[in-house]
Amino acid sequence: MFIWEISGNTPDRCIRAAEDPIEYTLPGLLQMQMNRKIGLTFATALRAFLRQDPDIILVGEIRDKETASIATEAALTGHMLFSTLHTNDAPGTVSRLTEMDVEPFMISSSLVCVCAQRLIRRLCKTCKQSYVPKGNEAKIINRAIQYNDDPIYKANADGCPACGSSGYKGRIGIHEVMGTSEELIKGINEEVETTELKRIAIVNGMRTLHQDSLYKVKAGTTSMEEAIAAVPPDLKDLDALRGVKSKSGNSVATDSKPRKSRAKSKVKESSKTELST
């Protein structure tokens, strides 16, 4: 659905998708259901797609070295390719691909963008309660985002009929988008640690999952408790980071132990490939 919306699905574009399973049937796409029993895997589907010279390729998930290698080569030969991977965060995509024996110079040449995403619970609009954070909560939110002591919201312990007495109703996504830059490409080629790649990305404007969750706390969409449970704090001091950025272009250390998440990434050279981490 995401690819269908952003790729400009017009009659003059050839879009091929390898999925397992096919969750939505979309007009204008050729969607192929994977079947391991007959040897139809993501890697074999990707090979078949490349012989058809499509404009855009979607690979449901990169699970093995063979698929990772073919996907990267497809990106390097002028195809826009989107896929998914399992990693902790957006910068973790690089280490995940290197674990699959993809050379760093191939990653830096093909990667366009990585988007990590998770779901957190949304506060019930009917019964949520406002309060001013104090103590450790105030420290966490002040370190991560610009905050001026406005009230935020928490779940009502008793809930209401609208939310089934849970205090929450529905879910909302938090995202971390890492675009490429000269500094990031250099870091990938030099095989620096994931934490260093994250520092580079933050200095170049990346909003982390932790920050995005706290912006949703500030907006009254979710609670502090839910935000911290989903993504532990990962920035020591955002103000210090901004100061370093404006003066030297370097970053401060980060401290994160995030849980596994789904992420999306784009890979390209003259065109694009997207992977999910």
pLDDT of amino acid 18 = 92
Nearest to 81, CA basis, from 54, 63, 109, 108 = 54
Tokens of 67: 């698929």
Sign of CA dihedral 6, 11, 15, 17: positive
Q: Mind listing the pLDDT tens digit for each residue in 202-212?
A: 999 999 999 99
Mean of the per-residue pLDDT values of the chain = 83
- Chain position carrying tokens 């610009």: 146
pLDDT of amino acid 53 = 86
Tokens of 146: 């610009």
pLDDT of amino acid 11 = 78
Q: Please, which residues bridge with residue 116 across strands?
A: 176, 263
Residues of the chain below pLDDT 70: 1-8, 234-277
pTM attached to this predicted model:
0.79
pLDDT of amino acid 28 = 81
